[in-house]
C-alpha cells in the first residue's frame, strides 16, 4: 500500500508552499501523533488486509469503468468513459476514506469518531463506516441543515450515530465545525476527528488522498487492460478535492495524460459570492489549519460561496491541488450551475445514469470538451456519486 503512494507532502506536511499545520501547539502535538500512528498502522499487514477486504466485499470495489457510447456518439468527438464511484455502497467515493479513517481510529484504540456534516453526505458515509467497524460515531450538524436534509438525518439515526444538533449562530456548517471541534479538543487522546476531504492540517490531506487513491490505481489499470493505452484526459469535480486527488494521484507521473479539475462556477465566476471556484478565482491564503487557495471577501475573511451542488461549495481547497495548479500539472476549469443541470439531465436520459450534481460538473466538462477532440480520443471522468439525493431538487427546479 505505502509503496504506491506519491512522495508528497514533505515531513512538515507541505506541498510546495501549501498545506502545513496552522494550529495551536497542543493540536500540533496531536496531529503529529496521528501522523506517526498513520505511518505505522498503514504499513501493517493486518491493517492492509482488513482494509482491502472491506473495499472489495463491502464497498464493492473495484468500481467498473463504463464506456458512455451513446453520449460519445451524440457529441461526435472523443470517447467518454465513466469511473463508476456511484456504484459504491452508500453511492459515492466518500466511503473510501471514511472506511480508512474509521479503521485507523479503531487500530489506534480511539473510543469515538467525531465529525461535522453540512448536507449530510460525509455524516452518512462516516456513520456507515463506524457501524461496520464497530466504533461510536458522533456527528455535529447545524439545526438549519438538519431541517433541510431529512433523508440523510434519518439515515444517520438508523445507522446508530449520535447526532448533535447545533443551534448557535446561523446553525449551519460553520457552527457545526466549531461545535465538533470543541468536543474533539475536550479529549483528543481518546477521540478521532474524521475530516471529509483532502483539507485541514497535516496529515489529513495526505491520509484522505491515500485512502482515495484506490480510484486512480484501479482506473489506470482498467483503462490500460482494455485499451492498451492511457486516456488523453482524466477529469473530476473539485470541492475540497478528495475524489479528484483520488483519481489524479495514479496519473501524476504520466505526462501524456492531461488532468483537469472542474470547479463550480455557480451563477458565474464574475459574481463574487455566487460561485465556489476557489482555484480559478481565489488566491493563496489560509483556512481550517492549512495554507491553500482561498476565496476571500474584501475584509480578508473566507467569502460566502455558492454551487448548485452542496458538496462543492467550500471557499478553500486541498493544498495539493493548490500546488498542482501552480506547477501546471493539473488544469482547473469551471462549469456553471446551468451546464451542470444540462449534464445531469443528458446523462440520465442518454445513458440511464443519474449522477450526483457534484459529479455532473465533471460530466459537463467532458461534454464540452469531447466535440473538440478526435473520435479516437479518450476522456476518463470520475463519476464521484449517484444523484438519488438530488433527484427531488432537480425535478423541482426544472418543473419535471
Ligand atoms: C462530497 C462530494 C464531492 C466533493 O468532495 P471532494 O472532496 O471534492 O471530492 C463530490 N462528489 C460527491 C458525490 C460528493 O458526495
> What confidence tier does 1 reach under pLDDT thresholds 50, 70, 90?
very low
Mean pLDDT computed over 212-230: 98
Catalytic residues: 94, 116, 384
Q: What is the pLDDT of residue 16?
A: 97
Q: How far away, in angstroms, is 26 Cα from ligand 1 center?
A: 30
pLDDT at 173 (0 to 100):
86
Domain ranges of the chain: 15-55+94-209, 61-91+213-397
DSSP bridge pairs for 333 = 262
Nearest atom (ligand 1) to Cα of 125: 15
Average pLDDT over residues 19-29: 94
Q: Residue 7 — pLDDT band, cuts 50, 70, 90?
A: confident
d(CA 103, CA 98): 8
Separation of CA 36 and ligand 1 centre (Å) = 27
- The single-letter DSSP state of residue 310 is G
What does the pLDDT average to over 22-50?
A: 96
Give pTM, 2 decimals. Answer: 0.96
Q: Which of 194, 237, 335 is the best mutation target for the ligand 1 pocket, counting ligand atoms within 8 Å of the beta carbon and taking the most? A: 237
Task: Answer whether CATH 3.40.50.1100 is correct for domain 15-55+94-209.
Answer: yes
Ligand 1 atom nearest residue 198's Cα: 7
DSSP codes joined into one string, 224-239: HHHHSS--SEEEEE-S
What is the mean pLDDT of the segment spanning 270-295? 97
Cross-strand pairs, 14: 19
Stretch 118-141: mean pLDDT: 97
Check pLDDT > 60 for residue 3.
no
Q: Would you say residue 237 has pLDDT above 70? A: yes
Query: Mean pLDDT, the chain, as a whole number?
Result: 96
Over residues 244-262, mean pLDDT? 98
CA–centroid distance, 195 to ligand 1, in Å, is: 13
From the CA of 122, give the closest atom in ligand 1: 1
Pocket of ligand 1 (CB under 6 A): 92, 94, 121, 197, 237-243, 311-312, 356, 358-359, 384-385
pLDDT at residue number 36:
97
Closest C-alpha residue for ligand 1 atom 1: 311
Residue with the nearest Cα to atom 3 of ligand 1? 311
Quote the ligand 1 centre to 275 CA distance (angstroms): 16
Same fold? 15-55+94-209, 61-91+213-397:
yes
| Beta-strand pair 162-166/79-84 | unpaired
Residue 259 confidence (pLDDT): 98
Q: Which CATH code for domain 61-91+213-397?
A: 3.40.50.1100
Dihedral sign computed on CA atoms, order 42, 47, 49, 52: negative
Residue position matching grid coordinates 469515538: 112
A 10 A CB-CB count for 247 gives 30
pLDDT in tens, 370-397: 999 999 999 999 999 999 999 999 999 9
More confident residue, 96 or 119: 96
pLDDT > 80? residue 120 = yes
Amino acid at each position: 500500500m505505502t509503496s504506491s503512494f506519491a512522495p508528497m507532502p514533505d515531513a512538515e506536511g507541505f506541498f510546495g508552499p501549501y498545506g502545513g499545520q496552522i494550529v495551536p501547539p497542543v493540536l500540533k502535538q496531536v496531529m503529529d501523533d496521528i501522523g506517526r500512528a498513520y505511518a505505522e498502522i498503514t504499513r501493517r499487514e493486518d491493517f492492509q488486509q482488513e482494509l482491502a477486504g472491506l473495499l472489495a466485499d463491502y464497498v464493492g470495489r473495484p468500481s467498473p469503468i463504463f464506456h458512455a457510447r451513446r453520449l460519445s456518439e451524440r457529441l461526435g468527438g472523443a470517447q467518454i468513459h465513466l469511473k463508476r464511484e456511484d456504484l459504491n455502497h452508500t453511492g459515492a467515493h466518500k466511503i473510501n476514506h471514511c472506511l480508512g479513517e474509521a479503521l485507523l481510529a479503531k487500530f489506534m484504540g480511539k473510543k469515538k469518531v467525531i465529525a461535522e456534516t453540512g448536507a449530510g453526505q460525509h455524516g452518512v458515509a462516516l456513520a456507515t463506516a463506524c457501524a461496520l467497524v464497530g466504533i461510536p460515531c458522533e456527528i455535529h450538524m447545524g439545526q438549519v441543515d438538519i431541517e433541510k436534509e431529512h433523508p440523510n438525518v434519518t439515515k444517520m439515526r438508523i445507522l446508530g450515530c449520535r447526532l448533535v444538533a447545533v443551534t448557535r449562530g446561523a446553525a449551519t456548517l460553520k457552527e457545526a465545525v466549531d461545535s465538533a471541534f470543541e468536543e474533539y479538543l475536550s479529549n483528543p487522546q481518546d477521540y478521532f476527528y474524521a475530516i471529509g476531504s483532502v483539507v485541514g492540517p497535516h496529515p489529513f490531506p495526505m491520509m484522505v488522498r491515500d485512502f482515495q487513491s484506490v480510484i486512480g490505481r484501479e482506473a489506470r489499470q482498467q483503462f490500460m487492460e482494455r485499451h492498451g493505452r492511457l486516456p488523453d484526459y482524466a477529469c473530476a469535480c473539485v470541492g475540497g478535492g478528495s475524489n479528484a486527488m483520488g483519481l489524479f494521484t495514479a496519473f501524476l507521473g504520466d505526462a501524456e495524460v492531461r488532468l483537469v479539475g472542474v470547479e463550480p462556477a455557480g451563477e458565474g465566476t464574475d459574481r463574487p459570492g455566487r460561485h465556489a471556484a476557489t482555484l480559478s478565482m481565489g488566491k493563496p491564503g489560509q483556512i481550517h489549519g492549512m495554507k491553500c487557495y482561498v476565496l476571500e471577501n474584501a475584509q480578508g475573511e473566507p467569502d460566502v460561496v455558492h454551487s448548485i451542488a452542496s458538496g462543492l461549495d467550500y471557499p478553500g481547497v486541498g493544498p495539493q491541488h493548490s500546488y498542482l495548479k501552480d506547477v501546471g500539472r493539473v488544469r482547473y476549469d469551471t462549469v456553471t450551475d446551468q451546464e451542470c443541470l444540462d449534464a445531469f439531465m443528458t446523462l440520465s436520459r442518454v445513458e440511464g445514469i443519474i449522477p450526483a450534481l457534484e459529479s455532473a460538473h465533471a460530466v459537463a466538462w467532458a461534454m464540452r470538451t469531447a466535440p473538440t477532440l478526435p473520435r479516437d480520443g479518450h476522456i476518463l471522468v470520475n463519476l464521484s456519486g449517484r444523484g438519488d439525493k438530488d433527484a427531488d431538487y432537480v425535478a423541482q427546479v426544472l418543473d419535471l
